[in-house]
Structures are given as structure tokens and as C-alpha cells.
Structure 1
Amino acid sequence: MPILTAADLTQDLEGTYYSPKMQWWCAHADLVDDDGNDTSLYFWPALGSLDEAWICSLHTKDEMIDLTTLYQPLGTFKTSRSGVDVQFGNQYIRGTYPNYEIYVEGEKDGEHVSLLVKMTAETPAFEALPNLRGITWHYVPRFAVEGALTRGGESKQVKGAGYLERRRGRFWTPGIERGLWESIPGAGASPFSIPLFYKVWKNDGTIQLQTLTFTVDGKTMVDFEDVEVDILETAKLPGFEDIDHPMRYRLTANGDGGSAEIEVVRNPNRLGLRDYFDDPDPRAKWTGIYGAGHAEGVVTYQGTEHRVSAPTYGSALFFSEK
């Protein structure tokens, strides 16, 4: 069981850099306003080798607001090689560790919607899966987030917990069948965070990757590498009836010094996308279904139980070949 120590998330690592592979910045935040209404932000600007994608959505209990724009020509996004500075029209993510700002906007049923958030890191950055070949992946497990959500001219203050990652690597890989991931940045009282559960299955049923990472002290990251998933409920969501999408599942994980058992229940208002990048490999075909949810469970580590009761964000990914 690896114990990861803090990594130096330099401005060079945060910025854009030459790469024939895809690179992206990804953030999400679980937010609540003064009236107790929940909103989840998912934000993922990505630079492919052939095009660019501005993937963004807001999720409430009753709806999903899609702010995504795909298949943009290379060079559409304005980026910096030093620090995070990615801009698409009026929308952007800016900053450098430990402070970032995100602004997104769009239309929902003729109503203008915008969200401005400021994210302040509550933990160090870490390098995820440092021994995984072909991927450079840094993330910050937990942020304090605050900002303003505006709809139809009415603005409400929001606050909550968030997560951010900076990654380079391939998105579609031959021989991969499906993946499942979830992130619970505000798993409990700060600095407790579960930034990532991730499991990837190959076409032959074997496992390519499995990990459950968490921090209880905000200083080191624990990686349980033995993770089992029990799918308890699936649904065929509108427009994606060909897929049994996991809506409720239980994950159990074990490692030196502890174990985890967490049940995730996903909200039905999800962002569904097919082939949302122009992959250099003509065989590439995939579907991703993203959205918010809620997790309940416990992480036991070094004799102490840490209760989990918090919002989540995650997806199910399904890969095949044309």
C-alpha cells in the first residue's frame, strides 16, 4: 500500500506544455447556498491533439445544466505555459497553487446562468499513480470553495468543498472495456478527503487499474490498491438506453493499516457524452456519463474510524472500437 507524500505543483506543471497526448485541467465542487440548495460543478477544459473541448455542467437535485462545447479547433482556448490560465470566451480557470478562480456561463431554457467560484487549497498537492506509465497526473484532494451562482439575474452565495487535477495522457486506450470513478473531496471534516476512487476493466475481464486514495491528516495520501465493486442498481438513462449505468454501488477497499466500505447513490440528472474528442486512433469509440451523488460509509485507518457522509461526483466510462 503506497503512502504518497506531498508533491511540488509548480507553475510549469500547472501550465500548458507541448504534448502529442491529451492534457486537461479538471475541477469539481459540491456547493450549497444559504437556503440549503445543493449545486455540483463539473469543469473540464481539455486540449486534444486534434481538437479542444470545454466540458462543463451544473447539477442540482432536479436538473442538469449543460454548459459543454465540443470539437473546437486547436488554439480556440487561450492558455499559459506558467500557472493555470485557460480561457474560452468569457469563461476561464485561473490561478496557481493554492488559489484558483473559475467562471462559467451559459443558457438554460432561455435563462442566463453563471457561476463564479474561488478555490483555496486545504491540503498539499500529490502525484497520483506516479508509477503508471504514460500519464502525468497531479491533484489537490481538497479545497474550500466559495462564490456566487446567478440565474435569471438573481445571485446567491454558495460555498462547499472541491477538487482539482492536472493531467496528461491518453483518454482512449485499445483493450479497455469500462471504467468507474468517484470523488468525495468533502468526505468529512477538513482535511479528510477521498479525492479518487477509480477502477478500470480490460476487455478480457482483468483489471488494468484500481485505487482508492484518501488523506486523513492533509499531509500524506494513502492508496488502497485492492478495491472491489458491487453494482447494486443500474438504469438506462434517456438517450443512453444501450447502457446499464451504475446508479448505486458499494465499494470495499483494503490496505495495510485499514479498510474502507462506502456506498454511492447517484443522482439521475447526468451529463452524457459520446466520442467527445477527435481521437488520433480511428478505432476510438466511447461513452461517458457524469453526475453528482451521495456517499455513506466508513474509512478505518490505523485504528480510527472516519465516517463518510458527503456529496460525490463521478462517472461511468464505456470503451469499444469502431
Structure 2
Amino acid sequence: MLMVGPPGAGKSMLAARLPSLLPPLDASEALEVSMIHSVAGALDEGKLLRRRPYRDPHHSASLPALTGGGLRARPGEVSLAHLGVLFLDELPEFNRQTLEALRQPLETGRVSIARANAHVTYPALVQLVAAMNPCRCGYLDDAGLACARAPKCAIDYQARISGPLFDRIDLHVEVPSVSAGDLTLPPPAEGSAEVAGRVATARAVQGARYADEPGPRIRANAEADGTLLERVAAPDDGGRTLLGQAVERIRLTARGYHRVLRVARTLADLDGQAQVRRIHVAEALSYRRAAPGRR
């Protein structure tokens, strides 16, 4: 997920709250995550981790720090966030080469580290959450605060993120600025506990769906691919037509096509629907954002 909005809109706060909506690690997941942290020397007192990891490296982090490396090829932040959340704040401020190295783990769920004395592959199945300002000054949509270079500054700033990396991000969300009136609104009717309950129910449905599938364990829709994804996420006639139109009109790539299917399948699970419907495909498509230079 990529959140785009001005400074102070709450992007970092939303990212930090996400792990609380996810179910705790089960026994096998806890062992899997704890082994990675043990190899990295980050396992506190040798205890198994029960909570999903949340990693938020600074944008000055080096390539080895993010993807892994060093003399002993230790796991990096993307592996330490395995089965949890990797939050990258100020996404365009990261080194371009460092960001491009994330393309492999985002696609395959693992990262390979090649060194002269070692070649190691670590799991890296993460929920990537990134945040960025719409431009360098951050106030593109505020005429009173925007810099004199708008809107060219926004085009240049957002172009720091490559098209292939954009294509691997499933959800693009515009986060509006917070007004004084927003701060005085009553709390929402649905709290974090209720949302976490809906998420747990949807993940349980997904776990049951893939329980009898041969091969490596599939925990959620994010891990389904190929013919399996086509089978479990096949939309109804209206959804299929809409998806076909999107391929033509917004030049949806093959990767984008399958990612829309995954999101639509998850939206249907949250809605308690066995069939992916047109409304789920439409919502999944609404979260796609054109890569810089293709707007």
C-alpha cells in the first residue's frame, strides 16, 4: 500500500496501527519469524516472537541494511518484517538502487543475497506500506503553501519511484489533510477491535480455502498465483467485463491484472461473498495508480 498526502495527515500513524489489525502469529509462523530474527542476532533472550513484526527503516538505510548482506549475509529489514509490515516513510527519499532491490521480494516473497563466501535466500513475505508527500514541499494541493515550482515539482518528485515498483504496489490511497473540524468529530462507530475481527474472519476463510491445495502452504490470497488465482478469484460476468475494459483503458499490465484479482478476492472475503463480483473488481481498480509519466 502507498499512502500519498501532505505532512501531518496521519500517514505514519496509520501505518503504525496496521499490525494491531492483524491476527497474532500461529505456532509455525512464530517459529519461522523467530528463526530469521535469531540469525540476525535480534531475538530477545531466545524467546519466540508472537506478534507480527513491524519494521520502519529510515530512508537513509543502505542496500544491505534493507535487503540483507554483510560478511555473514545476515537478513535485512525486508526479511525481518517477514509475515508482518515493512513501513517505508518518505519513499522517494530512499536511494533509487535500494528501492529497486525490493522488486524481487515483493514479487516472490523471498530475497537472495549473493556474496563471495555465501549465497543465501531468506523469506521476505511482507505487507509493504509506504508513505510519501505529493511533492518535495508536501503542499501540492494547497495554493497558499505550495512552492513556486508546482506542479512540476510533483512530477519530478514522484518520478523517483519507478514504474515497475509502482506496479507492484496493490493499493494507492490519497490521504487528505486533517482540518480543525476533523479533530472535533466523535469517534467512529467501528473501532480497531471490530476491524481486527473482520480481518481475522477473512484470513480464516482464506486459510480454509487453500488448506487442501498441494505444495507449499498458502496462508492468504497474497500467496495465490497462476491458475490457482484464476480459479479462486474468477469474477462474475460484470466483473470480467470491467476488468477487460480496464486492461484496454488504463493499460493494465499482466502483473497489475493479477494483483487486481487478488485485491478483489480479498474484498469479497471481507464482504462475506463466495463469488468475486463487479463491485469488488471496481473497488480494486480504484486503488490502482498510474505510474509516474503515464498519467
TM-score (norm 2): 0.26
TM-score (norm 1): 0.25
- Structure with higher RCO (Cα < 8 A, 6+ apart): 2
Structure with greater strand share of residues: 1
Structure with greater helix share of residues: 2
